[in-house]
Amino acid sequence: MSEQVSRRDFLKLAGLGAATTAVLTGCGPASRYVTREPYQQMPEYNSVGQSTYYATTCRECAAACGLVVRTYQGRAIKVEGNANHPLNLGKTCARGQATLHGLYNPDRVTDPIKKSRGDSAGEIVDWNAAIQAVADALKNNQPDEIAFLLGTSSDHLFDLVTDLANSTGINAPIRFGAMSMFESRATLSKAAENLFGQTGLPWFDVGNADVVFSFGANFLETWLSPLSYTRGFAQMRKATETKLRGRFVQFEARMSATGGKADEWVSLRPGTEALVALAIGRLVAEIRGGSVPRIFSSVEPADAAEQAGVKLEALEHLAEMFANSKAVAIPGGPALGQSNGLAVAEAVLALNALVNNFGKSGGVYLSALAPNQTEYNRPASSQEMQALVEKMKSGAIKVLFVHGVNPVFEIPNSLGFKDALSNVGQVISFATFPDETALEADYVLPDHHGLEGWGYQRVTTGTDLPVLSGAQPVVTPYYNTRSTADVLIAAAQLAGGSFASALPFADEVEFLEKKVSALMSESNGSFSALDSTAFMATFQQFGGWWKNVDSKVTPNAGSVLNKNVKAEVAEFAGEGEFFFVPFMSPTLGEAGANKPWLQELPDPTTTVMWTTWVEINPETAHELHLENDEVVRVISEAGEIEVPVYLYPAIRPDTIAIPFGQGHTAYGRYAENRGANPADLLGKHFNEAGDLAFAGMKVRIEKTGKTKPVSRLESRMGVYGEELGEEH
Amino acid sequence: MAEKKSTTSHGLLAVFPDLEPAANAVEGLRALGVDDACMNVISGVPVTEAMLGRPPQHSNVPRVAMGGAILGFSAGSFLAFIAPFMYAYPIQVSTQAYVPWPPSFVLLFELTMLGMLLSTFLAVFLDSFFPNYRPMKYVPEISDGKIAIVVECEHVEEKKIMDTLKKFGAESVKPAEAKQL
Amino acid sequence: MTTLSDLKISEVKLEGEHVGKWGMVIDQDICTGCQACVAACSMENNIPFVGEEDSGYGRAMHWIRIERFWEGEYPEVKMTNQQPMMCQQCGSAPCEPVCPAFATVHSQAEQLNLQVYNRCVGTRYCANNCPYQVRTFNWRDYQRPEPLPNQFNPDVTVRRRGVMEKCTFCIQRIHKAQDKAKSEGREVADGEFTTACAQACPSNAITFGRIDKEDTLVYQMMHHGQSHGKKHLEELGTLPSITYMNGGGA
Amino acid sequence: MAYGKKETENKPAVYEHHGHTEEHFREKHLMLDPLPRGQMNDMVMEAMTEKPSWKYWLTVFVLASIVAYCLVYSWIRLIAEGVGIAGVNRPSYWGIFLVNTVFWIGISHAGTFISAILRVFKAEFRRPFTRVAELMTTFGLVQAGFSIFMHMGRVWLAYWLMPYPNQRMLWPNFHSPLSWDLLAITTYLLSSTMYLFLPLIPDLAMARDKTTGWRKNFYRILALGFRGTEGEWTHLRNAMNIFAFAIIPVMFSVHTIVSWDFAAATRPGWNSTIFGPYFVIGALHSGMGAAVVVLAAVRKFVKNMDYFIRAEHFDAIGKLMLIISMGWAYFFFNDYMVQWYGGDKWTKQLLHFHEAGPLGWMWFAMLIVNIAIPWAILWNSKWRSTPWLVSTVGILINVGMWFERYIIIPISLTINRMPFTWRMYTPGIEIPLGIGTLTLFILLYVIFAKLIPMIPVWEVQEGQMAHQLKKFGRETVVTVSELE
């Protein structure tokens, strides 16, 4: 894109093909090829009183849902789902809706700053100096002393850094997010690899199943691709003329928002998921007749039931349900974040083999790969993060670039990331918000907000089609920020040598164009174009490119039932009478705490707003003389936090749970000094797949004598029916 | 002489210690030929005309009150039945009629009462010529319980009136002087 | 001769009963309580956030709230189906007659329950009289620090302190669609537009549309699934426009 | 009594009655203890014009400071910051402001009751304290008006509720009980103020005759030139008769309409047909309680008042309080019974919440102070005649009636048909503002005691003229002549 193209021409090129209700435009006002014009000469799609809609991709999590953002006179007004996007079909989640509160957040990093660590303020530098600093950092260190830590939601940047790494020898970029940690993604894909011999992320076709067994997977909240799973859930639940209402069973120690929707909620003792899954498998096999497959043979149902604290009859009843219908079993969430998480995942996946649903409607698939992807590429597991931390500690990393992730907050303290930072010579953060990691950085070179920037994101799971979701600026950057890709390209040019040749682009858009137009030659695309400019414009206009071919992969079921899974109970770290279940806040996610409307959304299960709480069974609380709102100290081997009590009726008496998402010490006025971070309690224990055994801790609680009124939307009297007048 | 002159023009003011002598004096004056219209009894307590043997007083208060009630009722009718049709467009609340009967009764009642009471109050002002800050014939002893009779009669000799008043027990009889109250 | 048993209760019709024009069907069975509708509504309608203290004191200003109750005790505890609660756009709304300032009135054109912010003097009688408790009041001038106001929807008034507000069925979208249809000389098509909540709802639990015509989706859903669809507090004669479905086999 | 004793049974059948002597009657009854009018005038004037002691000024200063902080400052804050600084929330959209409104309107009812109903029924004991009671009506209504304006979210637009032609082409919504309320309270405030003023005119004339300096001018203007001619008295009497009769239905309508604010709503616990009379009797209950307190205070703190206000008056009001308490209990029970019997699930929850909820103590306290205590004390004529005792009962009744309104408004609002929203109400700035209205009420009395004659002397004299002792055989009794 060497010559300048006006916005008007861009629109002409894009044509009028959009089938959404709104007219989508192909190029955002942030395009550097466009000069701002006075209102009298506004382009027709940006006239006074008319809204303009831009398609882009949501960056609030890694799922890559398509958005259409309504803008009005250069301001982003409302986020809507892109109705054509194969992943979310026009739907959005609460976090996607609130992304505008990130864009117009009053606490963004407004300028590039050079600062000393621990200070939130610093000296504002101009971008040339900032780029020079990045170039120096690249140039003045050995390639293997340079590391990039990226978030899960900017695939084009990841590709750019990967290209850079491939040709310069710097460390390959590492991607991390607390969300992927709590999802136990690594465990899930590792289990699939072990059982099927194929790499990939399993995809469960909930929508076409009649019975869904979920072992800890919180797929209606944040797990993998919540919008797509929610759509599947709705389809499964709805009775039609041809099918009955599907049934859903959730196995977990603490009722999650997903578990709340279950027809049957089985509260098993944490750590016994593998046993229970195997026991059900054995019972199912017995019901279906024939011999019990090897994988299930090592478990005794009665034993497993006793270990798990459920009735054998209950398991038999569930097995009956599973055996006689189109069933699917999903492993996920805290069930996998335990010492035997991999065994859990394998055992649960094996259940599917039993009912032979691999590659069948309502069964298990491996997710379709995105168009420009050759194999599934997952974010780093916690153990891989630990390896990075070790390298940093040893001084092997001299420069750390951080983008799109807030490791100081998101990585549990026990892994020692923050301490390791002090052994890193230079930390350069590209944070949009003044988060905890930016606080510890030497430079903060703010990237645009996701709605101000270009990019693409691969859809890794959730749809049949290979989808590359496109992102474009919907508004001009509000502050003096600059796209990190641009900064890196410019810095690489300045650094010269292999750096310059690795990124031979004028800017980010050119890079994108090169990457995206590579798809032009593909067949069955959602659109085609004659030249790369038109292709790129249409890509932006439609919010992405996808191949209209069902590309889900059927797992190789062959030997699954003859594998071996250790039928044992997970090990728990630490002393204490309570199992500890940390969970991702469904409304806040990993990075939502600075968005005021997300703070004010009530948690789906407890209706708590604006703070952290610890869920305790009312019976247990009664025994411990604990009341609602009483602040307790939760102590694990790794640390302690203070949180107010919420008497939660749907949690095992031997378990407590705390949501993740609050407890920031930086990150803007709405997030700072609010609640507590349960990651502080997590010890350095991993499962066999390298995921953190975050649900494998035991904790104890102490009274503090303090109270903190927890803001709840729900009544404290009315939601428990009969016991009116008593506070809950 | 000047005093006498003023007496003829202003009449006499006699102060009685009690009701009985005052009533007797009224009778005496009437016997003397003084017309009731020429007398005025001023008292610190409401002594009725009957106690003094005086003709009934005419009062417009009840009539004005009735008139006010009718006015109030009309205002209420306006608000209840006409105002709802003066909106820029018809305003519907719930499924209630534009002019709902039960609330209209409340309106009519309150405004009728308001009209009546306001006009009653006003009538007192009108009938008694309130407020009136001009000099008037008055002695302050009246508020201490004395009863005064003011006689303004031109065709009966003033001396006779004075004598009669004294005969019936007037504590003092003086030419009535209009003074600033 | 008519006997008592000949009189069926279903024949007793409320005076002035009408079907309404816009309606909604909410399937509680598939509502996951994810709060996307709440967020979408707040963004669309310039709803202020009130902060920790006020939100915990019954002053959260969500126009739509997702209710959930508990049944039984552990381990037989059950979270009831989520119940999104917003203004039911009653045909015979109890909130309307009690406002001394005509700030909440019935729209005859749209068959909706209107809230006229400018007329509101803040007696809060309407909110007391709303059996659904869905009206929210601007207790304070809730601050949205710069540059957050950039996000304001220009089609929706920003309310100041002392004013009552509530779900409008996204009347700005209704009007926009109607204007467009009118300029094209046609009627608004079913499904041509939808409310912010229905648009966002990831499980499609909320369906919005016309209910005065038999061939619309919402009408079909309301009447087809009558065996398990119900209107809230219908017994009060409020003629609500929202039908709640609660699952169950077809 | 002699005839009860056994040993006197054989005595001749002539019974020694402790016949009441004239002194006994004089001591007991103001009406039989006449003083010359001039002397009574002087007593009243002395009480009013006597140079106030430093204690008086200190009281005024303290009260005025409280009013300045609690009422003026707090109200300005309330308007500037919004009702958020009060305790109202969902579901208790109405809180103490409306409790106070209803409470003060209730207080105002006793004034009318005493001066109008007792005047119509010629209850002679009313004469010395009609003024004090009527002042209560006006002062109470001022507080009620303040409270309802505090309640409004946008009080600066309150004038929109008045019916007048306007550019909005809109009249108030007369479907709304609140607009009836506005009309009724306006009517009541205007009429009760006029009704206070009419019988005050002769006393102002008296004050005019007996003062000098600024006071003379002040009273001259207020007395309007009243002399006491036959015509003036006739017009006044006519007008007062009309007022006395007409203000009674207005008074009933006011509190009935206040009750409709609640009864017309579709809420459990509110939607009750008995609320009208229940509220009226409740208003009288608190009003009489307040009247007796004010009376005791006037008697104690204002000079020469023990001549005018005597034990007999406390005795008489005490009887009324007892009867009204019984009436209140009847209506309360009536309301409770029907609500309870109806069996509506939300009403049942509400009643349970009243009794066993977190503020259940208030419900029981209300019953104790509104029923048990008055019944226990006021049946005894001796106790009834003890000012401090009756006025203590009066204070307690007022506390109880305030509780009653608190139970009806914020506590009942806690429970509705949407249990997800049930939430307790905790007052905020309502507390200082409520204290402010009470203080202003007292302050107005303190100031007005020095400005207008607290005793309608002419009415007392009229009454004394009408009363005499008469012997029927061996018995001396009090007789009253109908002068009007």
Among chain D residues, the shortest Cα distance to B98 is held by D175
CATH classification of the domain holding D109: 1.20.1630.10
Q: How far apart are CA D300 and CA D295, in angstroms?
A: 8
Based on its alpha-carbon atoms, the radius of gyration of chain A, rounded to whole angstroms, reads 25
Of D261, D256, D273, D257, whose CA–CA distance to D97 is shortest? D261
A437 CB contacts (<8 Å, ≥6 apart)? A402, A405, A406, A407, A408, A409, A427, A429, A431
Q: Which of A416-425, A542-551, D21-30, D270-279 has the lowest mean pLDDT?
A: D21-30
Output the CA–CA distances (angstroms, integers) from residue A59 to A457, A685, B144, D261, in the order listed.
9, 30, 93, 52
Q: State the DSSP string of A340-355.
A: THHHHHHHHHHHHHHT
Answer yes or no: is D147 within a domain: yes
D126 CB contacts (<8 Å, ≥6 apart)? D114, D115, D118, D119
Candidates A606, A724, A726, partner chain D, best to mutate (most D CBs within 10 A): A724
Question: Taking CB atoms and an 8 Å cut-off, how many pairs form between chains C and D?
Answer: 143
Q: Do C53 and A711 touch (CB under 8 A)?
A: yes
> Residues D360-364: what's their mean pLDDT?
96
Q: Do chains A and B touch by CB distance (3+ pairs < 8 Å)?
A: no
Among chain B residues, the shortest Cα distance to C18 is held by B95
* AA identity, residue C187: E
Q: Do C16 and B91 touch (CB under 8 A)?
A: no
Q: Do A724 and D358 touch (CB under 8 A)?
A: no
- Token readout for A531 is 């030249």
Q: Do A80 and C200 touch (CB under 8 A)?
A: yes
Answer yes or no: is D27 within a domain: no
pLDDT reported for residue C225:
55
Give the nearest partner residue to B92 out of C90, C99, C105, using CB atoms. C105
Task: Say whether residue B54 is in contact with chain D using an 8 A CB cutoff.
Answer: yes
Q: Supply the CATH classification number for the domain C18-245.
A: 3.30.70.20
- Token readout for D432 is 């200082």
Give the nearest partner residue to A91 out of C38, C78, C200, using CB atoms. C200
pLDDT reported for residue A45:
54
pLDDT reported for residue B123:
95
Neighbours of B14 (CB within 10 A): 28
pLDDT reported for residue B160:
87
pLDDT at D205 over 90: yes
Provide the 3-class DSSP secondary structure of residue A545.
Answer: strand
> Residues D367-372: what's their mean pLDDT?
96
Output the CA–CA distances (angstroms, integers) from residue D36 to B18, B126, B144, B171, D97, in the order listed.
11, 33, 8, 16, 48
Q: How far apart are CA A592 and CA D331, in angstroms?
A: 56
User: Do B113 and B83 belong together in one domain?
Assistant: yes
pLDDT in tens, D138-179: 999 999 999 999 999 999 999 999 999 888 888 999 999 999
pLDDT reported for residue A719:
86
Candidates C28, C32, C172, C228, partner chain A, best to mutate (most A CBs within 10 A): C32
pLDDT above 70 as % of chain A: 92
Among chain A residues, the shortest Cα distance to D357 is held by A725
Q: Do C77 and A586 touch (CB under 8 A)?
A: no
- Find chains touching chain B: ≥3 CB pairs under 8 Å: C, D
Candidates C134, C139, C141, C142, partner chain D, best to mutate (most D CBs within 10 A): C139
Q: How far apart are CA C17 and CA C240, in angstroms?
A: 11
Q: Do B94 and C97 touch (CB under 8 A)?
A: yes
pLDDT reported for residue B154:
81
Give the nearest partner residue to A725 out of D352, D420, D423, using CB atoms. D352
pLDDT at A387 over 60: yes
Query: For each of chain B's 181 residues, which pLDDT tens digit applies?
Result: 334 444 445 688 999 998 889 999 999 998 988 888 888 999 998 888 888 888 888 999 999 999 999 999 999 999 999 988 888 888 889 888 888 899 999 999 999 999 999 999 999 999 999 999 999 999 999 999 899 999 988 888 888 888 889 999 899 998 888 888 7
User: Do B10 and B34 belong together in one domain?
Assistant: yes
- Token readout for D223 is 């007395």
> Residues D215-222: what's their mean pLDDT?
94
Number of C-alpha atoms within 13 angstroms, CB side, residue C115?
29
Provide the 3-class DSSP secondary structure of residue D16.
Answer: coil
Task: Say whether residue A711 is in contact with chain C using an 8 A CB cutoff.
Answer: yes
Q: How far apart are CA A178 and CA A413, in angstroms?
A: 13
**Distance in Å, alpha carbon of B111 to nearest chain C alpha carbon:** 17
pLDDT at A539 over 60: yes
Q: Do A92 and C200 touch (CB under 8 A)?
A: yes
**Distance in Å, alpha carbon of C90 to nearest chain B alpha carbon:** 8
The residue ranges of chain C whose pLDDT is under 50 are 1-16, 249-250
**Is D405:D95 a contact under the CB 8 Å cutoff?**
no
Query: Measured between alpha carbons, how far apart are the two ends of chain C, in Å?
Result: 40
Q: Sorting pLDDT into bands at 50, 70 and 90, what band is D343?
A: confident
Residue A294 Rama label (left phi>0; alpha psi -120 to 50; beta): alpha
Among chain C residues, the shortest Cα distance to B91 is held by C105
Give the nearest partner residue to B54 out of D180, D230, D236, using CB atoms. D230
Query: Measured between alpha carbons, how far apart are the two ends of chain D, in Å?
Result: 39
- Find chains touching chain A: ≥3 CB pairs under 8 Å: C, D
Q: Do D155 and C121 touch (CB under 8 A)?
A: yes
Helix, strand, coil share of chain A (percent; to 5): 35, 20, 50
Question: Cis bond leading into D358, ω under 30°?
Answer: no
Q: Do chains D and B touch by CB distance (3+ pairs < 8 Å)?
A: yes
pLDDT in tens, A64-91: 999 999 988 888 999 999 999 999 999 9
Q: In whole numbers, what is the pLDDT of chain A averaged over residues?
A: 89
Find residue A81's DSSP bridge partners: A67
Question: Cis bond leading into D202, ω under 30°?
Answer: no
pLDDT reported for residue B60:
93
User: Do B111 and B153 belong together in one domain?
Assistant: no
pTM for the predicted model, two decimal places: 0.92
Neighbours of D10 (CB within 10 A): 6
pLDDT in tens, A481-515: 999 999 999 999 999 889 999 999 999 999 999 99
Neighbours of C235 (CB within 10 A): 8
Q: State the DSSP string of A51-101.
A: EEEEEEE--SSTT--EEEEEEETTEEEEEEE-TT-TTTTT---HHHHTHHH
CATH classification of the domain holding B157: 3.30.70.100
Q: What CATH architecture applies to the domain A578-720?
A: Beta Barrel (2.40)
Same fold for the pair A113-177+379-444 and A183-369: no
Q: Where are the alpha helices (DSSP H) in chain B?
A: 2-10, 19-32, 49-52, 61-77, 101-127, 158-167
Number of domains in chain D: 1
pLDDT at D91 over 80: yes
> Residues A5-24: what's their mean pLDDT?
39
pLDDT at D102 over 70: yes
Provide the 3-class DSSP secondary structure of residue D311.
Answer: helix
**H helix or E strand, kind and range, residue D346:** helix D345-356
pLDDT above 90 as % of chain A: 79
**Is D124:D31 a contact under the CB 8 Å cutoff?**
yes
Among chain B residues, the shortest Cα distance to C105 is held by B93
Q: Sorting pLDDT into bands at 50, 70 and 90, what band is D11?
A: low
Answer yes or no: is D13 within a domain: no
> Residues A463-479: what's their mean pLDDT?
92
The parent domain of residue B98 ranges over 61-127
Q: How far apart are CA A398 and CA A391, in angstroms?
A: 10
The parent domain of residue D229 ranges over 52-450
Burial tier of D57 (Cβ tally within 10 Å: 0-12, 13-18, 19+): exposed
ipTM: 0.90
User: Do B25 and B67 belong together in one domain?
Assistant: no
Number of domains in chain B: 2
Q: How far apart are CA D191 and CA D248, in angstroms?
A: 11
pLDDT reported for residue A251:
96
Cβ neighbours of B90 in C, within 8 Å: 108
**H helix or E strand, kind and range, residue C137:** strand C136-137
Q: How far apart are CA B173 and CA B166, in angstroms?
A: 7
**H helix or E strand, kind and range, residue D130:** helix D130-151
In the CATH hierarchy, which fold is given to the domain comprising A7-104+450-478+515-546?
Answer: Phosphorylase Kinase; domain 1 (3.30.200)
Task: Say whether residue C89 is in contact with chain B using an 8 A CB cutoff.
Answer: no
Q: What CATH architecture applies to the domain A113-177+379-444?
A: 3-Layer(aba) Sandwich (3.40)
Q: Do A719 and D356 touch (CB under 8 A)?
A: no
pLDDT at A723 over 90: no
User: Do B41 and B66 belong together in one domain?
Assistant: no
B142 CB contacts (<8 Å, ≥6 apart)? B15, B42, B43, B44, B148, D209, D227, D228
CATH superfamily of A183-369: Dimethylsulfoxide Reductase, domain 2 (3.40.228.10)
pLDDT in tens, A232-265: 999 999 888 888 899 999 999 999 999 999 999 9
